[in-house]
Amino acid sequence: MADLIREAPLGQLIRYFTRNKFLKYPEEQDGFQIPWSEADIEKTDKPAPQAKEARNDAASSIGSDRSDNDPELGQVTLTRTTTRDSTRQWTEERQRAEEEGAMERIQSNVIVPTKTADGVILVDWYTTDDPANPQNWSLGKKIYITALILLYTFAVYVSSSIYTTAQVQVMAQWKLNYAQGSTILSLYVLGYGLGPLLFSPLSEIPAYGRNIWYISTFFLFTILGIPTALVDNYAGMLVLRFLTGFLGSPALATSGASLQDIYSLIKLPYAIAVWAAAAFCGPALGPVLSGFATQAKGWRWAFWEIVWIAGPIFIAWFVSMPETSSGTILLRRARRLRKLTGNDKMLSQSEIDQGTKKFSTVTYEALIVPLLMTVQDPAILFAHVYTALIYGVYYSFFEAFPLVYIDIYHFSIGTLGVAFLCMTVACILGLITYCSYVYWYLEPDIMKNGMRAQEHRLVPALIAVWALPISMFWFGWTAKEDIHWMSSIAAITLFAWGGFVL
């Protein structure tokens, strides 16, 4: 438990204000011994054979090390492990390296770091089962961290649509037309659509890590919920809604990367699917949570609910959410080792990668290069545009529901919120569909045929893509007084299922 708190924002603040007197790392405790010595580094075999280089490179790309007694290659000494490179192409070699790396992490073998030609010692994990390595964290710790990420994501996404059932009252109080009332929802979505362009690249800079962006923005997100519930003019509401959406965007920008930090690439699809379910169900449950409350207490109650939801989650995050970026963890370890040994040549790989770069260069690579990738790669551009279209249509239903189920079917505000549960049902069905695909088809296919091209993962999309136009025609043609409301609800369920799977 102490380790969990030490890595959390609360623990880091305690260490800062007490000058590291409390919650010490192993390197700061009396009697700590580095598992390897300079002599071990000098004795490390140089990676001469080409095959060995390829296998060690594959292993390093996924954050694991290899310790072989291969008769053809001779004995391989465990050397440095670099942070997993999520951009490296999938290959059978990489798949095999991950499987072997997972088995080796069960053992406790010392990892001897690499010494470069200019004398730099590359700081890495101490052992194959180093508890500081997020890939080695216990299943219970991983589940707890995943739960925090899911709750955080849910809080941000539920805040987008929780306004839906309050819209009619807001329009009446400030004498707004429907387009003006809808803008309050749209600006929130615009905010957390633009935020990832900033926070996602910044979270990949090891000197900062991920947690600093999570906790600072989530704190402001929670605090701004108070003036949003109290604001008394339309312009102020627009500004506050955009800012809260923007500050909540690390849930979209970085949560997937945090999950990738702690789960192996074989099991990552399950974690990503569950996280996507939290993001998908959040907007669907927003009107459910606020529907009867706004009907009884007024529109401000919906925004107070955002504070009540986000507040406890922020406290839990502040107290117990550790840093997950391997690059950042190793960078901090290198600093402690330099202080312990007085050897300024002990550096992490991330420090070397960015140490000689100007701040402007680091910023350019973090912020501009992802945009250039989108513009210059037609496949990425198409995926982004198509996803944006699906997302836009999904959120348009939050504006269409009051027009259909209040104006046509005469639902109350509270009952309108219940109608959104069809999207939650679709999300559950989509989660079952995708996880079944991964478990029954994708994993066996990988084991049998090795890793294929990334496009092979799009098999479910070939089916789900048809659900979108079919469901929209269905909804548009059956939302009439002489047709039962369940028909249009079924159409929305089909659309949400297809959108989730895609």
- Considering the domain architecture, whether residues 266 and 147 belong to the same structural domain is answered as yes
> Mean pLDDT, to the nearest integer, of 34-58?
56
Boundary of a domain, candidates 96, 122, 148? 122
> Domain tally for the chain?
4
Return the top range by mean pLDDT from 304-318, 384-398, 451-465: 304-318
Q: Which of 53-67, 259-273, 277-291, 441-455 has the lowest mean pLDDT?
A: 53-67
**pTM of the entire predicted model:** 0.84
pLDDT band, residue 41 (cuts 50/70/90): confident
Boundary of a domain, candidates 122, 150, 176? 122
Give the pLDDT of residue 75: 34
Q: Is it the case that residue 4 has pLDDT exceeding 90?
A: no
pLDDT tens-digit series, residues 356-390? 667 677 677 777 887 888 889 998 899 889 999 99
The secondary structure of residue 30, as a DSSP letter, is T
CA dihedral 327, 332, 336, 339 (to 10 degrees): 100
- Which structural domain range is residue 263 located in? 137-324
- Considering the domain architecture, whether residues 320 and 331 belong to the same structural domain is answered as no
- Considering the domain architecture, whether residues 330 and 446 belong to the same structural domain is answered as no
Q: Is it the case that residue 67 has pLDDT exceeding 50?
A: no
> Is 371 contained in some domain?
no
Q: Is it the case that residue 160 has pLDDT exceeding 80?
A: yes
Strand partners, 121: 115, 346
What span, in angstroms and rounded, lies between the C-alpha atoms of 322 and 329?
Answer: 10
- Considering the domain architecture, whether residues 360 and 395 belong to the same structural domain is answered as no
- Considering the domain architecture, whether residues 152 and 281 belong to the same structural domain is answered as yes
Give the pLDDT of residue 369: 83
> Is 100 contained in some domain?
yes
> Is 290 contained in some domain?
yes
> Mean pLDDT, to the nearest integer, of 124-129?
92
Give the pLDDT of residue 353: 80
Give the pLDDT of residue 227: 96
- Considering the domain architecture, whether residues 214 and 118 belong to the same structural domain is answered as no
> Is 370 contained in some domain?
no
> Is 142 contained in some domain?
yes
DSSP assignment of 31-96, as one string?
Answer: T---SS-HHHHHHSPP--SHHHHHHHHHHHHTT-----EETTTEE------PPP-TTSPP-HHHHH
- Considering the domain architecture, whether residues 149 and 162 belong to the same structural domain is answered as yes
- Considering the domain architecture, whether residues 97 and 147 belong to the same structural domain is answered as no
Q: Which of 17-31, 100-114, 399-413, 473-487 has the lowest mean pLDDT?
A: 100-114
- Considering the domain architecture, whether residues 397 and 467 belong to the same structural domain is answered as yes
Q: Is it the case that residue 448 has pLDDT exceeding 60?
A: yes
- Considering the domain architecture, whether residues 171 and 227 belong to the same structural domain is answered as yes
> Is 132 contained in some domain?
no
pLDDT band, residue 202 (cuts 50/70/90): confident
269-277 long-range contacts, CB within 8 A, separation 24+: 269/434, 269/438, 269/442, 270/435, 270/438, 271/146, 273/431, 273/434, 273/435, 273/438, 274/146, 274/150, 274/431, 275/146, 275/149, 275/150, 275/153, 276/500, 277/427, 277/428, 277/430, 277/431, 277/500
- Considering the domain architecture, whether residues 31 and 118 belong to the same structural domain is answered as yes
> Is 128 contained in some domain?
no
Give the pLDDT of residue 198: 86
Comparing 118 with 240, which gets the higher pLDDT? 240
Q: Is it the case that residue 147 has pLDDT exceeding 50?
A: yes
pLDDT tens-digit series, residues 273-326? 999 999 988 998 999 999 888 989 999 999 999 999 999 999 999 999 999 999
In this structure, what CATH number is given to the domain that contains residue 258? 1.20.1250.20
> Is 391 contained in some domain?
yes
Average pLDDT value over all residues in the chain:
85
> Mean pLDDT, to the nearest integer, of 224-238?
96
Q: Is it the case that residue 73 has pLDDT exceeding 50?
A: no
- Considering the domain architecture, whether residues 236 and 169 belong to the same structural domain is answered as yes
